[in-house]
């Protein structure tokens, strides 16, 4: 059986058009586009790539490597550091990474030296510093990769817009699972963690509903949380116990329990209502997140016989549960959708990307700087 290796490329992309939009080279001359490319400071595992002249390598009609996951359009400010993750499926390990921008006659080539993990995944990080000279510009970056079979992937194009009022950072809010949970943020671009403050409660999860942040305790107490101080305020009791997952959408909060119960919660009164019970005799491992279309929720669940958390979908109206697959990680107590990718955070400090079609997950990094012992959420 051929071993499929999932490779993640964390790449900074200088772009600004939609994914399917073709970029006209008439808007800028080739020398100018080459200057844009070379103004970026790129590195892979702390090393710089070689600048090559000519057409960037692209698909040689091989089935693999093939793109599984990539970010949607990115907005950033000049003088910033960006990191973006792409996932490729390959028959063997990726050996070279190619990066350029549409219209340029040059490209960067990086050599990949890391080994696939025992789970058949491989993480690669490419960091790019965006200079001040690129303020108020929009370009499309293109990426391809080749593996040890000398097979080359199709080109993946991602658009990136640089403007002064764009968000410089994407913050993931999380809380540790302790007697007095601390609200913190994780900068998705830089990995920097900042503590906001103590909530005053032992939170098992947090979730945004609009611009309001809520927390839940295992005992079912609903807490509103001040984003500036982290201070929590008691809203009421949901009358459900062992609640360890929370998510918000529309005018309701949704929760799941270690007993397998799936509930809705009124954010004003904290009144809880049982929608149903999770299928497959599953229980909640620790988090819920609505998919981009809001049609269903992703969840990490504990299922008898599985050594790791299972990724599943849940119907918010009926609690119908569909198992997708093993994540390969346990205690994935935080889920976020950011840049159209499903990110998991574990109580062990694991920062992973999860394939929503298979559940297969790839470790981006493990750090003692944070854990999602209680929660993870991103403001919509």
What's 84-110 look like in SS3? CEEEEEECCCEEEEEEEECCCCEEEEE
Query: Which letter does DSSP use for residue 368 in this model?
Result: T
193 touches 107 (CB < 8 A): no
- The answer for residues whose C-beta is within 8 angstroms of residue 149's C-beta and 6 or more apart is 62, 91, 92
| 25 confidence band (pLDDT: 50, 70, 90) | very low
Q: Are residues 218 and 124 in the same domain?
A: no
pLDDT of residue 368: 67
Boundary (domain end) residue, out of 138, 162, 186: 162
Give the span between the Cα atoms of 271 and 147, in whole angstroms: 54
Same domain, 147 and 179: no
Query: What residue numbers bound the domain in which 345 lies?
Result: 171-377
Question: With bands split at pLDDT 50, 70 and 90, how would you rate the model's confidence at 371?
Answer: low
Is 6 a residue whose pLDDT tops 60?
no
How much is the average pLDDT of 74-81? 84
Q: Are residues 181 and 158 in the same domain?
A: no
Tokens 């040059």 belong to residue = 106
| 114 and 242, same domain (yes or no) | no
Q: Are residues 334 and 226 in the same domain?
A: yes
* pLDDT of 64 strictly over 50: yes
- Domain boundary residue among 162, 197, 231? 162
Residue 125 sits in the same domain as residue 273: no
Residues 240 and 292 in one domain: yes
Mean pLDDT for the stretch of residues 222-233 = 97
The number of folded domains in the chain is 2
| Cβ contact 324:371 at 8 Å | no
pLDDT exceeds cutoff 60 at 166: yes
Percent share of the chain, pLDDT over 70 = 84
At residue 285 the predicted structure's pLDDT band, cuts being 50, 70 and 90, is very high
Same domain, 274 and 185: yes
Same domain assignment for residues 230 and 112? no
CATH code of the domain in which 332 resides: 2.120.10.80
- Tell me the pLDDT tens digit for each residue of 344-357: 988 888 888 999 99
Q: Do 152 and 271 fall into the same domain? A: no
* Domain co-membership, 123 together with 248: no
Phi (first) and psi of residue 314, to 5 degrees? -130, 130
pLDDT (average), residues 268-293 = 94
Q: Is the same domain home to 205 and 300?
A: yes
Task: For residues 164-174, give the mean pLDDT.
Answer: 73
pLDDT tens column, 197-227: 999 999 999 999 999 999 999 999 999 999 9
What pLDDT is attached to residue 11? 35
Give the tens place of pLDDT for each residue, 29-58: 676 899 999 999 998 878 899 999 999 999
Rounded to 5 degrees, φ, ψ at 27 are -75, -20
Final residue of a structural domain among 162, 179, 205: 162
């Amino acid at each position: 059986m051929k071993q499929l290796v999932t490779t993640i490329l964390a790449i900074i992309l200088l772009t600004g058009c939609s994914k399917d939009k073709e970029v006209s080279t008439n808007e800028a001359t080739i020398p100018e586009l080459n200057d844009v490319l070379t103004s970026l400071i790129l590195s892979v595992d702390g090393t710089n790539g070689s600048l090559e002249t000519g057409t960037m390598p692209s698909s040689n009609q091989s089935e693999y490597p093939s793109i599984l996951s990539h970010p949607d359009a990115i907005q950033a400010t000049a003088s910033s550091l960006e990191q973006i993750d792409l996932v490729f499926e390959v028959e063997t390990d990726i050996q070279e990474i190619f990066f350029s921008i549409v219209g340029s006659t040059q490209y960067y080539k990086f050599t990949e030296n890391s080994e696939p993990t025992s789970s058949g995944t491989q993480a690669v990080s490419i960091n790019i510093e965006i200079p001040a000279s690129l303020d108020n510009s929009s370009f499309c970056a293109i990426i391809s990769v080749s593996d040890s079979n000398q097979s080359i992937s199709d080109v993946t194009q991602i658009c990136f817009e640089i403007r002064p009022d764009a968000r410089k950072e994407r913050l993931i809010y999380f809380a540790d699972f302790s007697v007095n949970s601390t609200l913190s943020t994780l900068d998705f671009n830089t990995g920097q963690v900042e503590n906001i403050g103590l909530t005053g409660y032992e939170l098992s999860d947090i979730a945004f509903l609009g611009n309001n942040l809520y927390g839940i305790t295992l005992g079912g107490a609903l807490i509103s949380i001040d984003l500036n101080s982290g201070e929590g305020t008691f809203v009421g009791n949901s009358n459900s116990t062992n609640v360890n997952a929370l998510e918000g959408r529309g005018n309701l909060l949704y929760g799941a329990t270690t007993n397998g119960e799936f509930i809705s919660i009124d954010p004003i009164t904290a009144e809880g209502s049982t929608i149903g019970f999770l299928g497959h005799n599953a229980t909640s491992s620790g988090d819920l997140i609505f998919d981009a279309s809001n049609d269903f929720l992703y969840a990490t669940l504990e299922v008898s016989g599985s050594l790791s958390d299972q990724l599943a979908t849940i119907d918010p109206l009926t609690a119908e549960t569909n198992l997708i697959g093993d994540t390969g990680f346990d205690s994935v107590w935080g889920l976020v959708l950011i840049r159209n990718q499903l990110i998991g955070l574990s109580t062990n400090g694991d920062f992973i990307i999860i394939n929503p079609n298979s559940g297969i997950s790839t470790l981006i990094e493990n750090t003692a700087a944070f854990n999602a012992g209680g929660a993870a959420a991103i403001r919509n």
